Structure 1
Amino acid sequence: MNIAIISGSARPKRQSHQVALSLKGKLDLLKKDNWLWDVKESNLPLLDYTFDSHPAPGEVLKALKPRLDATDAFVIVSPEHNASYPGSLKNSMDYFYKEYGNKPFGIISVSAGVLGGINAVRSLQQYIIKLNGIVCPQFLITPKVQALFKDGQLTDESYGTRMDQFVDNFIHFADKVI
């Protein structure tokens, strides 16, 4: 199974990216084929055409297309921005559509507050359904993310345990769907 981890924030000093990198590390330890789609790094312009209708897709889009085609499952790691997910995430994902169809999606939300991004989870669930993706019923919320890492390393064992449980459940779910 090839899993894409979508790191959904393009902001400077983004905390959610640490969570995405931690997830990647866990999948690597489990020897699960995975790759990281960092929306900040891909830096796609505001959507004008989807990939399929684009008269001249750039190199970044051309490189993403075969990777998305080869992806079996997705995990979105998203901060909560104004009670939803970031526009940068939606803009990046909206370049594609059929690449997500009938594929399993997991959601990890991130927040500096105590609710852990639960509003982003709800919004992403609706968005994934619109993309014809299949939403994993279990999600992982990440409250007070600023207290979970030190120098890029996860230091909170209880969150690490919750992430392990999420990964196990998501892989089991994705295996059943695929």
Structure 2
Amino acid sequence: MNIAIISGSARPERQSHQVALEVQQRVNKLGLSSWIWDIKESNFPLLDYTFGEHPNPGESLKQVKVQLDQTDAFIIVSPEHNGSYPGALKNAMDYFYKEYVHKVFGIVTVSNGVLGGINALKNLQHYVLKVNGIVSPEFVITPEVQTLFKDGILTDEKYGHRTDVFLKHFLELAGALSANK
């Protein structure tokens, strides 16, 4: 199984990216293949055409398209910006559609506050349904992310355990659905 981990922030001082890297590390420890779709590094222009309609898609769009075609399931790691997920994340994901259809999405949200990105979570669940994805009922909210890592290493064992439980359920669902294809 090949898992795309979408690192959903384009901000310079983003803390959610270290959560995405932690998720990838845990997925890889399970022996699965994964890749990070880093919204910041993709640096897509504002959406004018979807990939399928684009008269001249750039190289970064083409590279992501190839990787999406090889992806079996997705984990979105997103901060909460103004009560929702970042516009840069939506802009990048909106370039594609058929690549998401009937694939499982797990969601991990991040905030500096105590609510852990719960509003972003609700909005992302709705978005996934609109692109015909399948939302995993398991999710992870990440409150006070600034307290969880030291020098890029997770220091909160409880958060690590919650992430492992999320991944277990997410992968069971993704595995069951891919077995039926």
**Counterparts of 1:173 and 1:110, CA distance in 2:** 23
- TM-score w.r.t. length of structure 2: 0.97
**Superposition CA RMSD, Å:** 0.6
Q: CA deviation at 1:176?
A: 1.4
Q: Which residue of 2 aligns with 1:150?
A: 150
Q: CA deviation at 1:147?
A: 0.1
Q: CA deviation at 1:77?
A: 0.2
1:106-155: CA deviation from partner (whole Å, max 9, x where unpaired) = 00000000000000000000000000000001110000000000101101
**Counterparts of 1:176 and 1:112, CA distance in 2:** 35
**Counterparts of 1:45 and 1:153, CA distance in 2:** 32
**Counterparts of 2:89 and 2:153, CA distance in 1:** 24
- The amino acid across from 1:136 in the alignment is S
**Counterparts of 1:71 and 1:133, CA distance in 2:** 13
Q: CA deviation at 1:28?
A: 1.1
**Counterparts of 2:177 and 2:115, CA distance in 1:** 29
Q: Which residue of 2 aligns with 1:31?
A: 31
**Counterparts of 1:51 and 1:87, CA distance in 2:** 18
**Counterparts of 1:173 and 1:142, CA distance in 2:** 22
Where does the alignment leave 5 or more consecutive residues of structure 2 unmatched? none
1:88-113: CA deviation from partner (whole Å, max 9, x where unpaired) = 00000000001000000000000000
Where does the alignment leave 5 or more consecutive residues of structure 1 unmatched? none
**How many pairs align?**
178
Q: Which residue of 1 aligns with 2:73?
A: 73
**Counterparts of 1:9 and 1:62, CA distance in 2:** 21
- The amino acid across from 1:33 in the alignment is S
Q: Which residue of 2 aligns with 1:126?
A: 126
Q: Which runs of 4+ in 1 moved over 2 A?
A: none
- The amino acid across from 2:169 in the alignment is N
**Counterparts of 2:113 and 2:167, CA distance in 1:** 23
- TM-score w.r.t. length of structure 1: 0.99
